[in-house]
Amino acid sequence: MNRELVAIEEDAYKASYSDGIVDLFVGLSLLIIGAIWVWAADYGGLAGIIPAVMAPSLLPMRKRIVESRGGYVRWSAPRRRWEKRNLGLALAAGVATFALGVAAYLLFESGGTNRDILSEIAPGLLAFILAIGALGLGFMMQHWRFFAYATVLVICGLIASSADANPGWPLIGAGVAVTVVGAAMLTKYLRNNPVVDAE
């Protein structure tokens, strides 16, 4: 494939994630996880299953909304291999992030010097860990806005740590921001890409 076609495909690939659906998924996941930590803290450890429960509906939703407007795009073989590899890396990063969060939580709960070490950043720890996941998504999807989401998570985590707030609040704060962006993107996408009736 020549360089011009590679550049065209790369632009098309980036544009394929401009509908805001993934952003909405991330934002709503953060909101739900944060709400569980704030108002149902006893079930905080189970909050991580929320994205896993919501994820199966994401691809069909994108397919229904995007393909009815822009049609189906079959990427080149190198792009498909690249995407498959990145999806695998994203899954591995998600598992590692979840394991890191569980390990940090158990370390904090074990008390002693471990509690002293983590107590200063404990309120923001979950937000810091999820920021790593946002960075992974940014690299995979090649969109800078996910780096901005990671920055928002870190800032909210720092604010929560300084205020000794519940760990769910920084997730709610970041979740609101991401959900608003996702909703605005989806609204714009639907307005600019009406359904094409097949004749």
Question: Is the distance from CB of 136 to CB of 93 less than 8 angstroms?
Answer: yes
Residue 40 lies in a domain: yes
The pLDDT assigned to 129 comes to 85
Total domains in the chain come to 1
Three-state SS for the chain is: CCHHHHHHHHHHHHHCCCCCHHHHHHHHHHHHHHHHHHHCHHHHHHCCHHHHHHHHHHHHHHHHHHHHHHCCCCCCHHHHHHHHHHHHHHHHHHHHHHHHHHHHHHHHHCCHHHHHHHHCCHHHHHHHHHHHHHHHHHHHHCCCHHHHHHHHHHHHHHHHHHHCCCCHHHHHHHHHHHHHHHHHHHHHHHHHCCCCCCC
Average model confidence (pLDDT) for the chain? 78
pLDDT at 70: 64
Torsion angle of the four alpha carbons 19, 24, 27, 32, in this order, in degrees rounded to the nearest 10: -170
The most confident of 58-67, 113-122, 128-137, 176-185, by mean pLDDT: 176-185
At residue 36, does pLDDT exceed 70?
A: yes
Within-domain flag for 6: no
Task: Say if 63 falls within a structural domain.
Answer: no
Mean pLDDT of 85-90: 69
Task: Assess whether pLDDT exceeds 60 at residue 188.
Answer: yes
Tokens of 117: 């070490």
d(CA 14, CA 89): 18
Count other C-beta atoms under 10 Å from residue 93's C-beta. Answer: 18
Q: What is the pTM of this model?
A: 0.77
Range of the domain at 143: 15-58+77-191
Answer whether residue 178 is part of any domain: yes
The whole-number pLDDT of residue 104 equals 65
Higher pLDDT, 166 or 53: 166
Evaluate whether residue 72 is within a structural domain: no
Segment 24-36 shows an average pLDDT of 90
Residue 147 binned pLDDT confidence (cut-offs 50, 70, 90): very high
Q: pLDDT by residue (tens digit) across 39-75?
A: 987 776 677 677 777 777 777 877 788 777 766 666 6
